[in-house]
Structure 1
Amino acid sequence: MTTLRYTLFHVHKHSFLLSATILTSFFALTTVPSFIPFALHLSVLLFYAHLLNPSSAKVRIFILWIALSLVKSFHWFAPSLNALSTPFTSVLVLFVHGALTSLVTLVLVIVYARSRTRLWMHSSWTQILLFPATWATAWYALAHLSPVGYLTSWSPVSGIPAYDWLMPIFGSSIKDWLAAAWAVVISQLGEAWYMGEETVEEAPLLDQEPLIFNGSASIDSMVKNRSKATIALGGVLLALTAPSYFWYSSDLALLPRPVIGSDSTPLTVGCVLPSRARLNQHNHRQLTFEDFLAESKTMNNANILLWPEGAVSFADEDERVNALEKVSRVITSPNQRVGVSFEESYQDPADSTGRGRVLRRTGLALVSKSNETQMLYFKRNLVPIAESYRLQKSDNPPPLFTFDLKMPKWASGPAVRPISVTASICLDFAMPDPFVDLPLSTSSSERPQIILGPARTWDLAVGNAMWEQAKQRAMELDSMVLWCDGGDGGVSGIAGQGMHEVMQVGEGSWIRTIGVEYPADDHRTFYATIKGSGGTIGFMWLLVVGGYSGRLLLSASRFGNLPQNLRGLFLRWKESRRTRALSHDQEPNLLTFDD
């Protein structure tokens, strides 16, 4: 009787695996990719890639590329319609981007699948660790090159709480490595099952002696070594989840810090999002500076208030200075700060003609009662086409500012405590390593306790995706982000150090009191100390090279001197290539039969 395995993986293998790959992609390639569906999809793709011989399956590869491009574009279709001036341009840009990212994925997967037959002889660890390192490196590099960073990349951003403790150590690239590593484990366990005990239908037509490589190792022994390495990698991946269960700490994103406690500083923060009902009352087409100012007056019990991205517009820098002076007048306490996000016109400092070329930019100013602009930051990454054609980006890194917060009478400990603050604006949070160049603050603090994140998105799906990116940046710094999105369906809230919930969707101001660590840990996370995920990528490749180098050193130790040993290694390498070529010509390949 024909087995299910034989029916699916031999008789109809291409139809079944192509369908499985496309089906899993619907759940994996959403606007907010989740870890488990993503790793499962990647494992199916890896498994199928070994059957996709480029010389005989070009049509299938092309179909798979188009299918993945369409699925990737499908989830972003509705949000993209209003992203640019015309829906056609938006959809065209979306599909091209989806096609490019899908092409990168297929190239990575197929090249890895083809290279495995060469790498497994040298080191099983090298063979299984190569793909995770390649995958993480590729998407880290593409995030630097892409104008939208990680926003639409093939990277999981949710569904991995057990691995969150790794974020302050290795940064977001560790998510890509973990997803790819799990995909390798799952796909190779699937291959072991697929090539397990043979039925009558699956048995080869001719009995063959085991092929011998390097004079001693047979294919069977290599497969066993690879299986051991795969199981060991799976054990390591499971072990990496242990700290999240046994090492209890609020810093590990388990629970928020108590507001009242000996190790907490109570801090009240808020997001200023006036109701659009004001437009009907004052016959305005959009909210004005006076609307945000009036709303801020009603929230003067907050220590930090934040206006959404580009909340107000200024004709020049002088108008901005005068407006911020008005903001300082409504601040009633030295404990209060207001983060005002704005767009302004300014004179091009590089204009040598003297004609005063006028440019536009988006910025954020932190204002205090003393009429002092304590922090000024300008957006560094602009939305392609929608913003880039009319605004100028900045090259200056985010600032780091510390102010003194007076404690209420009921609080124990010092009456005045420092609070360090930094900021970035909307799309900046989707970029890799946006805070690695933070300067020392006025109190020599190296780690911000609060990150101000004004934003303005145009769709709920985009707002939710940017919210997830903001959470990633907060975890990398082991800090908290105050996210204030003034767009249609914008997602606003506080994230980091045990806080994940969304406070508001759409318009409507809100205030929340949070607990900030006291005494504050002023030292940067390991991720920030090594200046971002670049060091993490290097460590991943050390693991790959280490497996291969270890095998070479082990072989070298068996011989009397190095020159003879190197010559022997070279001769065995040549013999293995010749043997592979002969075996490829003689061995029946059951994996390339058509459906």
Structure 2
Amino acid sequence: MSNSVQSLAVRHPGVSYALASTLFAITAISPTPVFLPVVALLACIRLSAFTFINRPDRFVHGAAQAFLVSVAGAATHLAPSLGALSTPSTSLVILSSIMLFTSSLAFGVVFATSYAVRSIHKPWAKLTLLPAVWASAWGFVSYVSPVGQLVTWSPVLGLGPYLWVRQVAGQWGIDWVAAAWAVVLSEIVGSWVVGHDDQEGLLVDTEPLLIDHGQIPTYHSIETTQRNSQPQTKSKSSAGSRDLLILTTGLLLLILPSYGMPPYLPLPVNSPAASTLNVACALPGPPQRGHGNPSLKDYMAETLKLQSFADIILWPESALRFNSPEERESAFEEIQAGLQGKRYVGIGFEDHATSERADGQGKGYNVFALIQNTGPPILEYYKRMLVPIAESFSLSPGNGTPHIVDLTVGKHSIPVTASICLDFASTTTFTGLDTRPAFILAPAKTWHVGVGYAMWEQAKARAAETGSTIIWCDGGKGGISGIASGSYSEVVQVGSGSWSKKIAFEYPFDSHRTFYLQGGQITMFAIVWAICGLGSFGELTVGRFNGRWLLALARRGVNVVRLRYVKRAEERPLLD
């Protein structure tokens, strides 16, 4: 079985890699990418790149493989994409374009780095270049994309012992670890395939299966080359093996912190070091006629039921629509009149009352407002990332960043902020905060259970990066609602149906930001490239001077000591 797989990879590398990458892509680039399939897919692409990088038909093989991967990715996104727009044909065109773009970008990154390492002489730089470029590429795409992380190949499931990396380095760290393991895997598999026993004469007069960055000759000339340059080849091979071992050891060491962390369990509500907050999500069922959206009356009926045991009651995204300032103020007054005591209600609505703007676009906003029984809204937030076409044609994006307000609940003051649905797909939504909020209110409204699950995973990712607890309230059909934090997450409700939950949080609350929030994307960019550059610098120093500079430094130190001793001896008086 082993020999047959090796023979297939050697005899038909194009078909082998295309088939393997297509199979891996089904789970790797789904709406919720899984860690191990992403690693396997990236390793397969890297092997393919080294196989065809020097061949005249490399563009044909690369394009065909990228097309098949994009088709597999489109198939996994097909069901949730068809309901995104009113016309399925438009959805298919947009989906195909996105999948082709992301696949082309991924293959372009891998093939470009495979070509670039041919001119790099340091094994460490060869191994760590792809992880640095990979993390940087998807970090940039996430920053400029209108749907953020939803179009990337960044893993969100199956992180296992690397889950803690997200709390420190965000998605950049996860992407770097995935690409680094892909490098290790491709090096091991490549050596295994190249080491195939050539009993059938498959390797005679063929191109090399793996081009070792321009240094490995063709198979029929290996024996001659080894006789001519055996010492040099062994030296380079040992250096490469050493660096591969160092990289593998480093990746394994990154697993250890997960074993020293406390278990992923919620904080006990009766803990002496904690306080509690009662939260609720108002999700009324569909109207009796079976179509349309719940009305203000429906949401008020649910709110009146929930306020007896909830401090904060959250409504989903776009629960209401206001076409005039008078309509909005009247609705706020009706809501406030029904609140008892210190209760807070978070309302998601489309505001077309202020749509007449100076630029003449005449579009409304997707807004969240947190109100209490009297006074103006305590917190307002305007959605910044609108769903392309579905929302962007009728609404304008907000340009303000989330800000924190302190809510008084009982005897405690709790820092709270808010964001809306698709904004959680961006890794930079909360990097502008000066302090860490205890809770993030998150109204959402998705159109398919697959999209709802993908956004729920994005909310969990932002919770880990910020170190905050997110109250996720999805009013879409089949939407997922729950509580997400860096240490614990729970799906409370799927679909319509109001719910409430008592949450314990540490008190006094530590408002210091996480490392990722403090540094943001610029710091992560510097770190991933420092791993590549500093390692190569150290390797270059050791390789160039071969330790002689250490010997010279030691000799100079000895000479200094001797000189001081001689001076002291000369300064002593001849007679005591």
Whether TM-score is above 0.5 comes out as: yes
Aligned to 1:512: 501
Q: TM-score, normalised by structure 1?
A: 0.84
Q: Give % identity.
A: 34
Deviations 1:385-415 (A, max 9, x none): 1100100111000121111221xxxxxxxxx
- Are the counterparts in 2 of residues 429 and 466 from structure 1 also a CA contact under 8 Å? yes
Deviations 1:436-492 (A, max 9, x none): 1125xxxxxx11111111111111101100111111111100111111111111111
Following the alignment from structure 1 to structure 2, what is the Cα–Cα distance between the partners of residues 55 and 159? 38
The answer to whether 1:437 aligns with 2:432 is yes
Aligned to 2:141: 142
Aligned to 1:472: 461
Number of residue-to-residue matches in the alignment: 530
Following the alignment from structure 2 to structure 1, what is the Cα–Cα distance between the partners of residues 511 and 421? 25
Aligned to 1:256: 266
Q: Relative to structure 2, which stretch is displaced further, 172-181 or 159-168? A: 159-168
Distance 1:405 1:116, change over 3 A: same
Following the alignment from structure 1 to structure 2, what is the Cα–Cα distance between the partners of residues 59 and 197? 26
Structure 1: which 5+ residue stretches go unaligned? 407-415, 440-445, 562-595
Deviations 1:134-191 (A, max 9, x none): 0000011011121111112111111113122222321111111111111011111112
- Are the counterparts in 2 of residues 212 and 219 from structure 1 also a CA contact under 8 Å? no
Following the alignment from structure 2 to structure 1, what is the Cα–Cα distance between the partners of residues 142 and 228? 44
SS in 2 for 1:208: helix
- Are the counterparts in 2 of residues 279 and 285 from structure 1 also a CA contact under 8 Å? no
Aligned to 2:242: 228
Aligned to 2:530: 542
**Cα deviation, residue 102, structure 1:** 0.4
Following the alignment from structure 1 to structure 2, what is the Cα–Cα distance between the partners of residues 452 and 141? 27
Map residues 473-492 of structure 1 onto 2, 5 A cutoff.
Answer: 473-492=462-481
SS in 1 for 2:56: coil
Task: Let me know the Cα RMSD of the aligned residues.
Answer: 2.4
The answer to whether 1:84 aligns with 2:94 is no
Aligned to 2:337: 329
The answer to whether 1:423 aligns with 2:418 is yes
Aligned to 1:13: 13
Aligned to 2:27: 27
Following the alignment from structure 1 to structure 2, what is the Cα–Cα distance between the partners of residues 268 and 175? 33
SS in 2 for 1:339: strand
Structure 2: which 5+ residue stretches go unaligned? 205-218, 550-576
Larger radius of gyration: 2
Deviations 1:264-311 (A, max 9, x none): 1111111110011x343xx97321111111110000111111100010
Map residues 67-82 of structure 1 onto 2, 5 A cutoff.
Answer: 67-82=68-83
Following the alignment from structure 2 to structure 1, what is the Cα–Cα distance between the partners of residues 119 and 138? 24
Q: TM-score, normalised by structure 2?
A: 0.87
Aligned to 2:188: 189
**Cα deviation, residue 318, structure 1:** 3.7
Kindly indicate which of the two structures has a greater share of residues assigned to helix: 2
Aligned to 2:363: 359
Aligned to 2:299: 292
Aligned to 1:569: none
Deviations 1:520-568 (A, max 9, x none): 11111111111x222111111011111232234345657999xxxxxxx
Distance 1:560 1:286, change over 3 A: closer
- Are the counterparts in 1 of residues 143 and 428 from structure 2 also a CA contact under 8 Å? no
Distance 1:453 1:26, change over 3 A: same
Aligned to 2:518: 529
- Are the counterparts in 2 of residues 324 and 371 from structure 1 also a CA contact under 8 Å? no
Aligned to 1:238: 252
Following the alignment from structure 1 to structure 2, what is the Cα–Cα distance between the partners of residues 474 and 559? 47
Aligned to 2:280: 270
Following the alignment from structure 1 to structure 2, what is the Cα–Cα distance between the partners of residues 499 and 358? 43
The answer to whether 1:384 aligns with 2:398 is no
| Counterpart amino acid of residue 502 in structure 1 | V
Following the alignment from structure 1 to structure 2, what is the Cα–Cα distance between the partners of residues 520 and 502? 25
Distance 1:51 1:461, change over 3 A: same
- Are the counterparts in 2 of residues 257 and 497 from structure 1 also a CA contact under 8 Å? no
Q: Which has the higher contact order (CA 8 A, sep 6+)?
A: 1
**Cα deviation, residue 2, structure 1:** 11
Distance 1:553 1:234, change over 3 A: closer
Aligned to 1:210: 226
**Cα deviation, residue 6, structure 1:** 4.5
- Are the counterparts in 1 of residues 356 and 362 from structure 2 also a CA contact under 8 Å? no
Map residues 33-112 of structure 1 onto 2, 5 A cutoff.
Answer: 33-53=33-53, 55-112=56-113
Distance 1:195 1:488, change over 3 A: same
| Counterpart amino acid of residue 260 in structure 2 | F
Aligned to 1:396: 400
- Are the counterparts in 2 of residues 279 and 286 from structure 1 also a CA contact under 8 Å? no
